[in-house]
Structure formats: C-alpha cells, structure tokens
A and B are shown apart, each in its own frame.
Chain A
Amino acid sequence: DTGVSQDPRHKITKRGQNVTFRCDPISEHNRLYWYRQTLGQGPEFLTYFQNEAQLEKSRLLSDRFSAERPKGSFSTLEIQRTEQGDSAMYLCASSRQGKEKLFFGSGTQLSVL
C-alpha cells in the first residue's frame, strides 16, 4: 500500500491559465474522489468516480473544471481559465467499493495570482 499520490504538491499560476493535477489512487481502490479545501474550511466534495465512470459532480464544479479517469486508475483534474477564487488545496482520495473509509493524498496547493 503506497498510499494516494498527488502531483504536483504546489502549483502557482497566473489568472487565465489552465492547470492540470494528477492523482494516483491506491491500486486496488476502484473509487476515486476529488475535494477542494480552502483555509479554515473542511474539504468540499467536487466529483467522484467508480472505475472510469464519473458518477457524481458537485454543483461547485463549474464548466471550467473537468476530471477524467480514463482507465479506471489515475485521474486528472483540469481547471481552465483559472480565477483567483480557484486558489485552494485540491485533495484526491480513494476507497474500495462498499467501504466508506477514504484514503487521502497530501493534496495540490494551487495559488492563482
């Protein structure tokens, strides 16, 4: 069990640029989640995959956000035309189906200047 891995750990970008984050879940986990967390708040759910199928998206996920999990393994989260309000920690988690125990990565800290 190597844990959930996220890359990069930190990303600084200018407003209007596109950014992409990667998440590698624990290998035998078929569920993958993306959360966003701002300072002083708990993580907010963004989207959820079971294998390669994206089963739920939060209303927080505007059309500038897109997530994929093409082969049911790693996932990417892309933010287009970034805004300063997108600055946050983006967390990825994974779990086995039927188990509500989520394993989180260390997150990607995004700063939009």
Chain B
Amino acid sequence: LAKTTQPISMDSYEGQEVNITCSHNNIATNDYITWYQQFPSQGPRFIIQGYKTKVTNEVASLFIPADRKSSTLSLPRVSLSDTAVYYCLVGRGMNSGYSTLTFGKGTMLLVSP
C-alpha cells in the first residue's frame, strides 16, 4: 500500500481557498486517490476521488499531476464548518480484488472568522 504524507495542520480564514497537498511517491498503477473529511466524534466522510488530472464535484476539486506522485485537494471559499481533519488515501481501484484503505494522521484544517 502506498504511504501518504500530508501537512499535520493548516490554518485559513473564511472565504479563502484552501489547498491541501498529499505526497504518495509509491502509488501503484491501479491505485485511486481518495480524500475524506472527519469531524470530531464522527466517522470519516467521502469528499472526492480521482485517478489522474482533475476531478471536481460540488464540494471540492482534486488535482493530480501526470506522475501521480502527489495530489492536491482544493476547497473553494471555506467556511467555519469546514474545520475538520482531512485524510488522503491511496488504494486499489475499481474491479480489483479486495482492498484496504490506509489512513494516515491527516491534516487538521482550522478555519477562523
């Protein structure tokens, strides 16, 4: 399983764009990159998933360069409610055998007024 490296914490202000970068140098060819958000006393919640280039949904964008050794989660115009821990995971993709997703320590994002 590819190991991921993320900043331990980040600070931002309401209305700003936040970019959290994750390094995964040992990513395998069929690995997908997935980001989760976790609030205290809750289970992680899926944010976005991608394989290459750019993926966008209603809450975030995911940028993956051609070598796929890193990825950047972009949160546009954050609000106080975006204060949470964000995890980057790398794991086997669809139609593979069984898979496990390994969480690191994540990035604690603190959004201030």
Name A's B-contacting residues (CB within 8 A). 4, 33, 35, 40-45, 48, 50, 55-56, 58, 89, 91-93, 98-107, 109
Whether the pair B99, A98 counts as a contact (CB closer than 8 A) is: no
Whether the pair B100, A100 counts as a contact (CB closer than 8 A) is: no
Name B's A-contacting residues (CB within 8 A). 32, 34, 36, 41-46, 49, 85, 87, 91-95, 98-106
Given A35-B103, A45-B101: 12 more A-B contacts, CB < 8 Å: A4-B43, A42-B85, A42-B103, A42-B105, A44-B103, A50-B98, A56-B100, A58-B100, A101-B46, A104-B44, A105-B43, A106-B43
**Chief secondary structure at chain B's binding surface:** loop
Q: How far is the CA of A48 from the CA of B102 in the complex (A)?
A: 13
Whether the pair A100, B93 counts as a contact (CB closer than 8 A) is: yes
